[in-house]
Structure 1
């Protein structure tokens, strides 16, 4: 058992900085190395967290004595980094989506299995008290329908996020969080039919509106709507219908209608995903990790099936051709 986990970061952007803050605040961990293709970004992060800066992840992996690696890079940059980390026998935390193709994700997943690597994907909503309590409450319920939404203004920009080839669009890059929660709370999604349109943001090559019809393995049905042009925020929410009830799920204070005293959320159940990952690395106990790499790949498969359905105009089996 390591007294203090020595952590390296690949990627020093805004998302990575959030994780860096959490890791730096954890007395059981220390950031010792950071890497970014931008020397300026690497130097800035290194200065803030008293770490050694690198601009090549392989050089960092070989030069720094690491116990774990955070991979916080855009979707199009996944692949070689994960495989190089696995080659060195290191646990890793990786941001979602885990890839832009199912083939690449499957290749990485196969290596994870063959090396028995400790992994964690950044679907932090699973670790909230709201998610844990709702999942436990629904365990013996028959869900009829789940209706999710992710509406936000993120399509109004000019970065890699708004480029189809680099992000996969909103369903892959952002609404994957909602898809993952629908899977976590209601079970596996087996089939998707998707309609996509660009009606507002004509300067981007991605759909700015998506509608998904979903079929669950349990027999439940569902839908997910996403909007990238909305000047507001209404995302990562799911209405779950069972018996005569509706749970209005969100990551903070989900509600149930009509009132049901049996549905309670104990906020003490929530844990921070970074704390869970560091503790798993420190102790070797993986029981707290709810989002191993395989789970990230399964959520990605739903998003990719949606995009494939929109292209073909036909329903698509999740994980199928």
Structure 2
């Protein structure tokens, strides 16, 4: 079987810590080209991975040998670059949020269909062992009917993570479109759809900037959502937490599931019978050391290309999660409950 030739568009932190090492670690893939508007960054990355360096992504896409690309650029560039890549005949793994509007997301999906290429969105939280186990327990009726949940994703902000620190595109509306809600909230929107196996039908939200001076995007968001069967829950996303919080608690008629809420046990099932089951499934991947080493995103994407199967997080799936974020923004602006 031939090795997939890979191009990386954007050589910032998400590439450096996730995409590049995970592509390099996949035995069916070879990184052959990288691109960044920062020429020094592109050259340094190219040297590290023995690849060609570009500062114009269109030149990278013109390489016939490239089979697939990772789009790891600021949010506002996700859709146009992904569409160009799909039209150039490349499979695309795009970082989240996939787009800045419904129209962009639909155009990405259409480009993938038209060119018969795979489009996957990098929602890695689905592949965390505790999250996979919780989905299985709920599907099997382990905690009975689910009534409610609360989920959060917060940390001190992207300045501690981004290659450009406080000058990062994350804080600029023109590049980012949305702040903590798009960076972290969309992960949890996707996660709850996955774990519960249901679509969100209504959302109400407060989305604001309270912690990051000079930022023209949100740094805190709290949403209330309702699913098709009537499950109600809260979803919080923040760049103002002094310690990272990635926890989810799910309340059902027969018990409670606590995910990533304990330093040792990644999943705790507490039943109404008094029984407690502690699962040690490995820590969630995070910006701190000691989490799971691979997000599994690249491996899942490669599997879909080789096996010609629907990607684990397809464009359509990414779009459904994006709609929750867009609904939260609309709710905050209109001060109404938004029906999805």
TM-score, length-scaled by structure 1: 0.89
What is aligned with 1:62?
Answer: 62
Indicate how the Cα distance of structure 1 residues 34 and 239 shifts in structure 2: closer, same or farther if over 3 A, else same.
Answer: same
Unaligned stretches of 5+ residues in structure 1 = none
**1:137–1:263: 8 Å Cα contact kept in structure 2?**
no
Offset of 1:123 from its aligned partner?
A: 0.8
Range with bigger deviation, 305-314 or 72-81: 72-81
Secondary structure at the aligned position of 2:43 is classed as helix
Change (3 A) 1:57 1:169: same
* 1:205 aligned to which of 206, 216, 237: 216
CA RMSD of superposed structures (Å): 2.3
Structure 1 segment 271-286 matched on structure 2, within 5 A: 272-281=296-305, 283-286=306-309
Q: Distance in 2 between matches of 1:260 and 1:206?
A: 45
Write out per-residue CA displacement over residues 189-235 of structure 1, whole angstroms, 9 at most, x where no aligned residue: 11111123333333322333322110101211111123322222112
Secondary structure of 2:190's aligned partner: helix
Cα distance in structure 2, aligned partners of 1:262 and 1:233: 25
- Rounded to whole Å, the distance in 2 between the matches of 1:207 and 1:23 is 32
Q: CA deviation at 1:26?
A: 2.0
Secondary structure of the residue aligned to 1:22 is: helix
**1:231 maps onto 2:205 in alignment:** no
- Matched with 1:6 is 5
Alignment of 1:107-122 (within 5 A): 107-122=107-122
Q: CA deviation at 1:64?
A: 4.7
CA contact (8 A) 1:12 1:42 kept: yes
1:44 offset after TM fit, Å? 0.8
Gaps of 5+ in 2: 160-165, 283-293
1:32 CA displacement: 0.7
Flag the 1:201–1:25 CA change in 2: closer, same or farther, 3 A. closer
- Is contact 2:185–2:236 with CA below 8 Å preserved after alignment? no
Find the residue that maps to 1:175 and give its secondary structure. helix
Q: Secondary structure at the match of 2:206?
A: strand
Structure with higher RCO (Cα < 8 A, 6+ apart): 1
Equivalent residue number for residue 305 of structure 1: 327
Deviations 1:277-301 (CA, angstroms, capped at 9, x unpaired): 22332x23426x3211111111111
How far is 1:262 from its partner?
Answer: 7.9
The residue number in structure 2 matching 1:27 is 27
SS of equivalent to 2:62: helix
| Number of residue-to-residue matches in the alignment | 312
1:316 aligned residue: 338
Write the distance in 1 (CA, Å) between the matches of 2:126 and 2:321: 13
Q: Which residue of 1 aligns with 2:269?
A: 256
Deviation of residue 184 (structure 1)?
0.6
Distance 1:86 1:4 in 2: 19
Residue number among 288, 295, 298 corresponding to 2:317 in the alignment: 295
Kindly provide the CA deviation profile for residues 237-270 of structure 1, in whole angstroms up to 9, marking residues without a partner as x.
2111111411112397111123657886767xx9
* Residue 169 of structure 1: aligned partner: 179
The 4+ residue runs of structure 1 with deviation greater than 4 A are 259-267
State the alpha-carbon separation in 1 of the partners of residues 24 and 270 from structure 2. 41
